[in-house]
């Protein structure tokens, strides 16, 4: 696991954008457009904004043929609800960057077909060739996507019940914790760890404890994000505040400062 501690959230966004663009560029030049794993939530917004800014300035790669897969989706929202994660990712990223809706995927929360939604989503990811790079945030309770504490480290896409902490954290999008749906569909921890490269982003003091547990604590379902320790290619991009509880901070800085120029994340 490579832990990169940067001065500001803007630097986190810039490095994450570089990494996504590298994957998109190499897909384009190989003739096999990239498959990106996208996360909703507040943290990746600065990265999406940076990618959109570069594309508008003519500095970005071509997104022709790129497909995207969301991590998760609320269950029980009315059709077309603006807080659905599919609507959110289109509004915040894919529409602006020019990835058409038919190539933007998320778990299907339609009530009538809910029992098969998980296996259908797993099959869609496999059919697309698998996710090359997966952007991840982390919950203040250590969740990864909507895999709440106690989730199996081998889990696949399925329905989950949100914790009270997560519903409180997400109340800002719905007006009150009671208005936040109780149930979600989420890629499992086993699904997430099949992606080629995991890019976890965390900024702000509120994430410091969860980051420390994920990076330096024991691998345990109690902190679902600790599953990152089992993956061979993980980059954890942090600002100073989110990194503030890490014990090996000096070492991470030393490693990054001495990183060879030829080596990307
Ligand atoms: P946030 O959410 O980026 O809005 O903090 C992260 C998460 O809950 O996984």
Residues in the chain, total? 265
Instruction: State residue 229's pLDDT score.
Output: 98
| pLDDT at 89 > cutoff 90 | yes
Nearest CA to ligand 1 atom 8: 139
| Of the candidates 75, 213, 88, the residue with the CA atom closest to the CA atom of residue 144 | 213
Instruction: State residue 234's pLDDT score.
Output: 98
Cα 207 to ligand 1 centre (Å):
9
Task: Look up 250 and say whether it is catalytic.
Answer: no
- The per-type count for the chain, helices as H runs and strands as E runs, is 9, 10
| Of the candidates 89, 116, 91, 92, the residue with the CA atom closest to the CA atom of residue 105 | 89
| pLDDT at 80 > cutoff 90 | no
Mean pLDDT of 239-250: 98
Instruction: State residue 133's pLDDT score.
Output: 98
Q: How far apart are CA 53 and CA 17, in angstroms?
A: 10
| pLDDT at 195 > cutoff 90 | yes
Out of 16, 43, 143, 208, mutate this one to test ligand 1's pocket (max ligand atoms within 8 Å of CB): namely 43
Q: Which of 105, 143, 197, 239 is catalytic?
A: 143
Q: How far apart are CA 141 and CA 207, in angstroms?
A: 9
- Ligand 1 atom nearest residue 44's Cα: 3
Mean pLDDT of 159-181: 93
Q: How far apart are CA 265 and CA 237, in angstroms?
A: 10
Q: How far apart are CA 78 and CA 80, in angstroms?
A: 6
Cα 136 to ligand 1 centre (Å):
8
Q: How far apart are CA 43 and CA 140, in angstroms?
A: 12
CATH number for 2-259: choose from 3.40.50.720, 3.40.50.2020, 3.40.50.1360, 3.40.190.10.
3.40.50.1360
Q: Which of 148, 169, 197, 239 is catalytic?
A: 148
Cβ-contact 66, 27 below 8 angstroms: yes
Q: Please give the backbone phi and psi of residue 197, each rounded to the nearest 5 degrees, phi first.
A: -140, 130
The secondary structure element, H or E, covering residue 197 is strand 197-202
Mean pLDDT across the chain = 97
For the chain, give every domain's residue range.
Answer: 2-259
User: What long-range pairs does 77-83 form, CB within 8 A, spacing at least 24?
Assistant: 77/109, 77/181, 83/173, 83/174
Q: How far apart are CA 206 and CA 204, in angstroms?
A: 5
Mean pLDDT of 168-176: 93
| pLDDT at 259 > cutoff 90 | yes
**Residues flanking ligand 1, CB < 6 Å:** 41-43, 137-139, 143
Task: Look up 148 and say whether it is catalytic.
Answer: yes
| pLDDT at 154 > cutoff 90 | yes
Number of Cβ within a 10 Å radius of residue 180: 21
Cα 169 to ligand 1 centre (Å):
8
| pLDDT at 152 > cutoff 90 | yes
Mean pLDDT of 122-135: 98
Tell me the pLDDT tens digit for each residue of 4-51: 999 999 999 999 999 999 999 999 999 999 999 999 999 999 999 999
Task: Look up 143 and say whether it is catalytic.
Answer: yes
State if pTM tops 0.85. Answer: yes
Cβ-contact 62, 23 below 8 angstroms: no
Cβ-contact 151, 73 below 8 angstroms: no
Mean pLDDT of 105-131: 98
Tell me the pLDDT tens digit for each residue of 199-224: 999 999 999 999 999 999 999 999 99
Number of Cβ within a 10 Å radius of residue 95: 14
Cα 245 to ligand 1 centre (Å):
18
- Ligand 1 atom nearest residue 201's Cα: 3
| pLDDT at 174 > cutoff 90 | yes
Number of Cβ within a 10 Å radius of residue 196: 15
- Ligand 1 atom nearest residue 146's Cα: 9
| pLDDT at 79 > cutoff 90 | no
Q: Which of 141, 169, 197, 239 is catalytic?
A: 141
| pLDDT at 120 > cutoff 90 | yes
Mean pLDDT of 142-162: 96
Nearest CA to ligand 1 atom 7: 139
Q: How far apart are CA 122 and CA 156, in angstroms?
A: 8
Instruction: State residue 199's pLDDT score.
Output: 98
Cα 40 to ligand 1 centre (Å):
7
């Amino acid at each position: 696991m490579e832990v990169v501690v940067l001065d500001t959230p803007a630097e986190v966004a810039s490095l994450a954008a570089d990494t996504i663009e590298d994957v998109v560029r190499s897909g384009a030049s190989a003739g096999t457009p990239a498959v990106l794993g996208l996360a909703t939530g507040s943290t990746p917004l600065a990265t999406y904004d940076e990618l959109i800014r570069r594309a508008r300035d003519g500095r970005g790669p071509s997104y022709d043929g790129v497909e995207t897969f969301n991590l998760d989706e609320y269950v029980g929202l009315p059709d077309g609800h603006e807080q659905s994660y599919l609507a959110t990712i289109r509004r915040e990223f894919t529409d602006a960057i020019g990835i058409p809706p038919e190539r933007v995927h998320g778990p299907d929360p339609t009530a009538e077909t809910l029992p098969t939604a998980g296996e259908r989503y797993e099959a869609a990811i496999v059919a697309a060739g698998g996710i090359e790079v997966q952007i991840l945030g982390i919950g203040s309770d250590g969740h990864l996507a909507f895999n709440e504490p106690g989730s199996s480290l081998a889990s696949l896409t399925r329905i989950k019940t949100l914790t009270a902490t997560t519903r409180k954290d997400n109340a800002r999008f719905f007006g009150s914790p009671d208005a936040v749906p109780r149930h979600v569909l989420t890629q499992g921890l086993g699904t997430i760890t099949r992606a080629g490269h995991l890019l976890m982003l965390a900024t702000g003091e509120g994430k410091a404890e969860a980051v420390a547990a994920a990076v330096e604590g024991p691998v345990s379902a109690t902190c679902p994000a600790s599953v990152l320790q089992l993956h061979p290619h993980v980059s954890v991009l942090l600002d100073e505040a989110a990194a503030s509880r890490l014990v090996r901070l000096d070492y991470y800085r030393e490693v990054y400062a001495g990183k060879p120029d030829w080596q990307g994340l």
